[in-house]
Chains A and B, each alone.
Chain A
Amino acid sequence: MKLEKIMKILDAEVCCGTVRNDWDITMVGASDLMSDVLTFIQPDTLLLTGLINPQVVRTADVAEVKVICFIRGKKPTEETIKLAYDKDIVLFKTQCSMFKACGRLYRAGLVDCLQK
């Protein structure tokens, strides 16, 4: 699924990075625990999280996640944005709760990265 479509589904806005049309996202991972993320995450997954500190970006970098979406309208810190910019990671934010965000993406056909 194209990033633009994901943004529409989640009513998300961009906090950092460019919405590239050539990226195709098929899987979603959702967690607020970084070690948990690292057990199931697969490259090119969309990561949904309620954490907004730079550690999220570091985790994504190691796991080769290129897109992170923060839930419940949380705004990433300046350090987080700076680091994401450095690592070429796109940051979104949405007003949706974790449940709502997951539900909408699931209904739209995206799958859990544990399933792949």
Chain B
Amino acid sequence: MNNAGIGKIQELIYDLSVGDVMKKDVISLSPDISMYKLKEVLRKNRISGVPVVKNGCSVGIISIEDLINWLTKKGAGSSVKDWMTKDVVTVYEDEKLIQAISLFDQKGYGRLPVVERKEKKVVGIVTKGVIIESLLREIEIDYHEEEIRRYRVSHFFEDVTADSVTIGLIYQVKGGDVMNGGAVAGNIKKTLQRLDIKPDIYRRVAIAIYEAEMNLIFYTDGGEISVYIKPESICVNVQDHGPGIPDVKDALRLGFSTAPNWVRELGFGAGIGLNNIQRCSDKMIINSTVGRGTILDITVNMETL
């Protein structure tokens, strides 16, 4: 697994400190602020929780769940200090990232205030999102970049836990969108290259996705391609909402194709696509229901040698 950028992420978790990645311009509230005001702050800044700070020091944390509790139960005071979680766990800015990640893992926290050692003043905040963003930046995958937006990535979510990392990408593909046909596959190929995935592996993944993407464009009203990159394998899930394949065994036969003329004129419809996917993957499962849609699962292992 030494070739994968995922390994690099794992190393970074032990190298970088919380202070390197934390969000510095923290929005915080004082304990005496009213819950109405909290609602405003969360909504305006589109955040789900904030640290509560008194004289620069952490005294609590309050989140959207607390706000909901207050809205539904009312009673007992209406300032932040009455509803916040008081025994907050914080991390020091000089602690390694792995420390913060372990806390997220074990305790299920959504965010951790970051404090400096001397006076314990709050200097930042980390969430899983902030950590992932900075890790991807470190390995030069900027998921805000123009090119990805152009290719309609609706989602870029991931999971980092103490002993594994999964990067997930979800792309929307429009039915009939021939002009962009293959753009998703090309984009994924580039991302896998940047993650230092071995050429033999990323090529197989890219070809399999390309075939699946073209099938979405030619035969369906559109669908979704999700790619999960893990240290041991790359899993691809392709889903559409119809029309479904009447007989999957037929469709898998080399040469079987229902492609209309306009598809053939573009150089497709040889009935090879699904076979290509099978050949490129270590595991392929197709589930299809006429009227409902098709789900295609592909796994490509990252063999060690």
Contacts and interface: CB of A to CB of B under 8 A. Distances in A.
Interface of A: 32-36, 38-39, 43, 49, 51, 53-56, 58-59, 61-64, 79, 87
A interface SS class: helix
Given A38-B276, A55-B178, A55-B182, A63 B267 contact: no
- Give the interface size bracket for B toward A: 20 to 34
Given A35-B273, A38-B210, A38-B211, A58 B267 contact: no
Given A58-B182, A62-B186, A35 B203 contact: no
B interface SS class: helix
Interface in B161-210: 178-179, 181-183, 185-186, 189, 199, 203, 206-207, 210
Contact of B182 (A49, A61, A64): A61
B272 A64 contact: no
Interface of B: 178-179, 181-183, 185-186, 189, 199, 203, 206-207, 210-211, 214, 266-268, 270, 272-273, 275-276, 279
A35 B189 contact: no
A35 B268 contact: yes
A58 B207 contact: no
Contacts of A63: 203, 207
Nearest to B279: A39
Contacts of A56: 267
A39 B203 CA distance: 12
A84 to B, nearest CB: 12
Given A38-B207, A62-B185, A33 B179 contact: no
A39 B280 CA distance: 9
21 contacts: A32-B267, A33-B267, A33-B268, A33-B272, A34-B214, A35-B272, A38-B210, A38-B272, A39-B275, A51-B266, A54-B179, A55-B181, A55-B182, A55-B268, A58-B183, A59-B182, A59-B267, A62-B182, A62-B189, A62-B203, A62-B206
